[in-house]
Structure 1
Amino acid sequence: MSRTDAGSTAITLTEAELDRHVTHAPTRGLLSGPGLPDRTDVLTFSPLRTHGLRTLADAAGGPFQVAEELRGRLVIGELLNPAGMRPESILLDGATGELTTAYLFEPPEPRPFAASLDTLLRFAAVTEELTGLRGRFASLAGQYGPTTVAEASRRLLALFERGTDGRVPPYWKAAALIRPLALVAGPGTESGLTLEVPARVLDQEFGHGRVARFEEVDFPATLTHEPTRRFLRQTGLPEEAVLFHADTDVPLPTLREYVTDTRGDTGPPRELPAHCDHLIRLGGLAEDTSLILDGRTGAVLTFNEREATLHTLNTDVSTLAFTLWLLHHERTIDEHLNHALTTDAYDQLAAAMLHTLNTLDPTPTLPETTWHYWTELLRQGPHETL
């Protein structure tokens, strides 16, 4: 194995290394010639540099048996899934050049990924163009909203379909349908929050009359973060979303008021946070979990009512609204596709969702985030089980 000139990360293989493992002429020519990038936005071929060319039978090991027809497939890379998700390996059929993916440390069940390395590199390249809004997506730079999302998704899916007879593997279909959703809201240049989320985006997604917009009388005195107050008045939050329901019947209570009202004389299970009068309950999530707002900073947290523990959730109410929109919109997409994504490749769909969330709100990736509700929610399984 060799590396090209300094500064380049191309991975190439010698004819001796390819030997009898790769007989497909175009694949052999690419691997011994231009080579493969060390990594792209969505995948890495660095396992080739670390381990060399390995068959699935050699790489998997373990107590289970690898089916005979799979033993000779070559492990050449991994998908770059968000932190905490199992690594999924990229497998090459050396005779046909076809690529699949599978988990190594369980009985492998390969899933279609690309017809050839050329196709795979093209898919990865156009996905990077979308991420950077350059190349064929450059005209969308600075544009946001549902129309921009639909156009970006249409372009990416059309690029994936080119030369594939319209048969796009689930991983890339999820990428085309989910990754452009990050374009629904632009950066918060005027709001003072992370994102500019137009009120109409929530109205269109959840329905008119189903988005709660608050009045000044609804805010406790300890909600002093003005951008948050303005967002809750003008944009609001959905009354009902995936596992979330907003507090709309009474003025928003502080955490102390909420616990006192709900537990009465029994009191809280454990001591409340010292700053609980500055923590405001926006609504409820599943499993005795409240969605909490820090009235001083605008940060959004979860509060486990049984354990009396706080965990960071979103940077602010704008990224909270985007998250609720994204979870609801993904479910709408999946229903439109007759649950094809959640049935055939839920883990790949979850990876695309987490990547999109992390693109606009880095909270789950911060060192101080030890547990994150949305991340765990997506890792659990398809929405039918949530």
Structure 2
Amino acid sequence: MTTTTTDTRAAAITLTEAELDLYVTHAPTRGLLTGPGLPDDSGLLTFAPLRTAGLRTLADVTDGPARLAGELRDRLVIGELLGPSGAGTESILLDGGTGEITTARRFAPTGCRPLAPSLETLLRFAAVTEELAGLRGRFASFAGRHGTKAATEASRRLLTLFEEGTDGEVPPYWKAAALIRPLALVAGPGTALGLTLDLPGRLLDEEFGPGRVARFEEVDFPAALTHEPTRRFLCETGLPEDAILFRLDTDVPLQTLTEYFRDERLGEYPLEDLPAHADRLIRLGHLAEENSLVVDGTTGAVLNFSEPEAALYLLNTDVSTLAYTLWLLHHERTIDAHLGHELTTDAYDQLATTMIQTLTSIDPTPTTSDADWHYWTELFQDEAGGVL
């Protein structure tokens, strides 16, 4: 294997004709691999395994063909799809005879899923998706634009670009990217309330329905809630009363975590296990699996308190990114239902990765938190639980 370099990009991964002779007969693929080569990695995928290990069949990687279906044995491992943390999530496979690109689970692969009809198309799809993420190239006109109209327009443009290379049959991974990733454009950077995001007016009402978004009054707030941007958001924008994974406390005025366990759960949970600053943590509602959603009354940070672990974990940067997360979860379900649940049926794990990447682009909490565990990340990835 050889590499080539230029002054404007990192080393490209190339292979010699001799290296390809054993594996690749598809002429356009051979031309790409011996000519311009492949980038080391991008935000979505990496070809680093090809650089470090050369061409290998999936049978070689998984310790022999006996464990694999016949269609998988001779597929060539050329890279990996990347998750939000930068770790590989699936192997990228090349059919040396047809040039088709598929993916398979990295551990105990039992089947493959389409990713692109060719290596050239795969590189183009990754490039345009990154143009969307950076609002450059074919998506430069979206810089500074926000709202549902901008997101819908960007989604249509990205889907059209994908359809050009697939005869209209867009693989699930890229369909999820086209339908979910542009949703990061819905909310703009926070200016009005001093929070991370400015949500479009009535966004939550339109998504969850009239009368299903609760807005608070000053009398509802405990004295410990001194963070003014949080108070204004809860009064002016509000939160959905009943969302996926979350139920808002609306029966009584908001309580501190100490007050909640002392008054509502007396005898059910030892007060000595509460965090030392529980008197400044305001409980907004209930999360699944015995978790309370709380906001730090001083800083506005949103956390989840795990009762079984008696531990606090950072959940969202603030209430604006919390509201966006709840909206994103609900809207994803609406999209998937419109598609006949195609995404959750055919590519749940790929959809989960796309959801986490989209959320992270708005609120980097899942990747910047010191904790190894993050509530939304874990629940998104819970295919058995069917959260998405």
Aligned residue in 2 for 1:163: 165
| TM-score, normalization by structure 1 | 0.96
2: CA distance, partners of 1:327 / 1:202: 12
Where do 5+ consecutive residues of structure 1 fail to align?
none
1:133: Cα distance to partner? 0.9
Cα distance in 1, alignment partners of residues 109 and 237 from structure 2 = 48
Alignment equivalent of 1:259, drawn from 261, 279, 300: 261
> What do the CA deviations read for 1:116-154 (whole angstroms, capped 9, x no partner)?
011111111110110111121111111111111111110
Q: What is the identity, as a one-letter code, of the residue corresponding to 2:36?
A: P
Relative to structure 1, is the Cα distance of residues 36 and 165 closer, same or farther in structure 2, using a 3 angstrom cutoff? same
- Which of 185, 188, 199 aligns to 2:187? It is 185
Amino acid of the residue matched to residue 4 of structure 2? Answer: T
Q: 1:64 to 1:301 in 2, by over 3 A?
A: farther
Q: In the comparison of the two structures, how many residue pairs are matched? A: 386
Give a deviation string over 1:223-264, Cα, whole Å, max 9, x none. 011111111111111111102111112110011110011222
> Quick check: 2:261–2:271 contact (8 Å CA) kept in 1?
no
Checking the alignment, whether the CA contact within 8 Å between 1:363 and 1:369 is kept in structure 2 is no
Paired with 2:11 and 2:384, the residues of 1 have a C-alpha distance of 37
For 2:5, give the aligned amino acid: D
- Structure 1 window deviating more from structure 2 (113-122 vs 183-192): it is 183-192
User: Which consecutive residues of structure 2, in runs of 5 or more, have no partner in the other structure?
Assistant: none
**C-alpha separation between the residues in 1 aligned to 2:121 and 2:34?**
17
Matched, 1:207 2:174: no
Q: Distance in 2 between matches of 1:295 and 1:372?
A: 21
- CA drift of 1:203 comes to 1.2
Aligned to 1:78: 80
TM-score normalised by L of structure 2: 0.95
Instruction: Find the counterpart in structure 2 of residue 3 from structure 1.
Output: 3
Runs of at least 4 residues off by over 4 Å: none
Distance, in Å, in 2 between the alignment partners of 1:171 and 1:149 is 18
Quick one: distance in 1 between partners of 2:64 and 2:227? Answer: 54
Question: SS at the partner of 1:380?
Answer: coil
CA–CA separation in structure 2 for the residues paired with 1:239 and 1:133: 34
User: 367-376 vs 77-86, which deviates more?
Assistant: 77-86
Aligned counterpart for 1:279 among listed residues 278, 281, 287? 281
SS in 2 for 1:97: coil
**Greater CA drift, 300-309 or 112-121:** 300-309
The residue aligned with 1:113 is 115
- Pick one of 64, 68, 77 that aligns with 1:66: 68
Q: 1:254 touches 1:281 (CA, 8 Å); kept in 2?
A: yes
2: CA distance between counterparts of 1:304 and 1:195? Answer: 26
Select 2:104's aligned residue among 81, 102, 105: 102
Which residue is 1:296 aligned to?
298
SS of 1:264 mapped into structure 2: coil
Match of 1:31 in 2: 33
Distance 1:4 1:312, change over 3 A: same
Is the 8 Å Cα contact of residues 116 and 166 (structure 2) preserved in structure 1? no
User: Take 2:105 and 2:267, find their aligned partners in 1: how far apart are those partners?
Assistant: 52
Partner of 1:90: 92
Matched ranges for 1:312-323 at <5 A: 312-323=314-325
Partner of 1:172: 174
- Deviations 1:301-355, CA, capped at 9 Å, x for gaps: 1112344321110010011001000000001111111111101100000000000
What's the offset of the Cα at 1:358?
0.8
1:71–1:306 Cα change, 3 Å: closer
In 2, Cα distance between equivalents of 1:300 and 1:280: 9
Return 103-112 or 87-96, whichever deviates more: 103-112
CA RMSD of aligned residues (A): 1.8
